[in-house]
């Protein structure tokens, strides 16, 4: 814990960014609306990369594990991205991964990791990812409890409410971006985790929400999104519609948000997004 891994070099191409965009639902509402993210050869449109593609760029490819446990009992608990520059359509990065904490949540263990991706040619930071996994049944070891940042849902009505439809086959597309966890495709594996059928990737819900935030707050300009953080609170079944509620904090460049199912159950909680001037390329 606290010791960075050896750097792993990883490259992506235009098609990887396109596949990710389709995997998080770009084009689902209107196939002609998000062509800058879903095509590379549309006349008068330059291909761009969704900010949440940063979770792919910073993905831990070291193969390190925080311990021995049943993967079916581990769920993604939190995710945050800090973007330092605009994500390029194609690039090569070096990624280091550090376990920054393992916390005792009594009913389970929370393992927190920070991954930093730097440009392989210049060494300049590109994006930092912070994530945690919750491993059910592994708590009670006497470790510290993490300090949860303050977050409060405003009492007023949201400034924006955006509905995004998920698709039944969406996990099969999203997994092609690298997350092959069978929890999202194998019914028997999902049953071991207590689910009646495979669930949508939490990071897919994160990407769908990121698209909504980009459209509502960033004028669909990916350079304006600087930071997105969430807590995963409930699973999403593929095919469910999702409602993203956004409350702007006037004068701060920051907004808080939640993503919920149609029945009001919150699936992404404690959301924070920071929007600012366009990031440098």
CATH number of the domain that residue 109 is part of: 3.10.129.10
Across the range 34-43, mean pLDDT stands at: 97
Across the range 144-153, mean pLDDT stands at: 78
149 lies in a domain?
yes
19 lies in a domain?
yes
Nearest to 95 by CA among 5, 223, 221: 5
6 is catalytic: no
pLDDT at 148 over 70: no
179 is catalytic: yes
3 lies in a domain?
no
pLDDT at 141 over 90: no
Backbone region of residue 88 per phi and psi (left: phi > 0; alpha: psi in -120 to 50; beta: other values):
beta
34 lies in a domain?
yes
177 lies in a domain?
yes
Which one from 76, 84, 184, 226 is the annotated catalytic residue?
A: 184
Band of residue 97 on the pLDDT scale cut at 50, 70, 90: very high
Instruction: Specify the pLDDT at position 176.
Output: 97
Contact status, residue 186 vs residue 172, Cβ threshold 8 Å:
no
Instruction: Specify the pLDDT at position 143.
Output: 79
Which one from 16, 76, 84, 179 is the annotated catalytic residue?
A: 179
46 lies in a domain?
yes
281 lies in a domain?
no
Band of residue 136 on the pLDDT scale cut at 50, 70, 90: confident
Instruction: Specify the pLDDT at position 44.
Output: 96
Contact status, residue 82 vs residue 127, Cβ threshold 8 Å:
yes
2 lies in a domain?
no
pLDDT at 11 over 80: yes
Q: How many domains does the chain have?
A: 1
Q: What is the pLDDT of residues 214-229, one digit of tens each?
A: 999 999 999 999 999 9
Residue 218's domain spans which residues?
Answer: 8-275
Torsions phi, psi of 70, nearest 5?
Answer: -75, 115
């Amino acid at each position: 814990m606290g010791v960075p891994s050896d750097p792993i070099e990883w490259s992506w191409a235009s098609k990887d960014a396109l596949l990710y965009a389709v995997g998080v639902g770009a084009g689902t509402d209107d196939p002609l609306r998000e062509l800058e993210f879903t095509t590379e050869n549309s006349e008068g449109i330059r291909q761009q990369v969704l900010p949440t593609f940063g979770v792919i760029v910073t993905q831990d490819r070291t193969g390190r594990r925080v311990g021995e446990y049943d993967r079916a009992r581990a769920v993604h608990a939190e995710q945050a991205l800090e973007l330092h520059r605009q994500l390029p359509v194609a690039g090569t990065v070096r990624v280091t991964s550090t376990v920054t904490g393992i916390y005792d949540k009594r009913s389970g263990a929370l393992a927190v990791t920070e991954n930093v991706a730097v440009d392989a040619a210049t060494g300049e930071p590109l994006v930092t990812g912070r994530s945690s996994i919750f491993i059910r049944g592994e708590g009670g070891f006497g470790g510290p409890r993490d300090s949860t940042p303050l977050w409060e849902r405003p009492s007023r009505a949201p400034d924006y409410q955006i509905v995004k439809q998920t698709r039944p086959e969406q996990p099969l597309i999203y997994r092609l971006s690298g997350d092959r966890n069978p929890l999202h495709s194998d019914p028997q594996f999902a049953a071991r985790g207590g689910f009646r059928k495979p669930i949508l990737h939490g990071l897919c819900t994160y990407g769908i929400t990121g698209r909504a935030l980009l459209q509502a707050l960033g004028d669909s300009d990916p350079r304006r999104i600087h930071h997105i953080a969430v807590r995963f609170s409930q699973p999403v079944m593929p095919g469910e519609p999702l409602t993203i509620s956004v409350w702007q904090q006037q004068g701060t460049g920051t907004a808080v948000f939640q993503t919920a199912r149609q029945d009001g159950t919150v699936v992404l909680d404690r959301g924070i997004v920071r929007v600012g001037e366009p990031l440098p390329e």
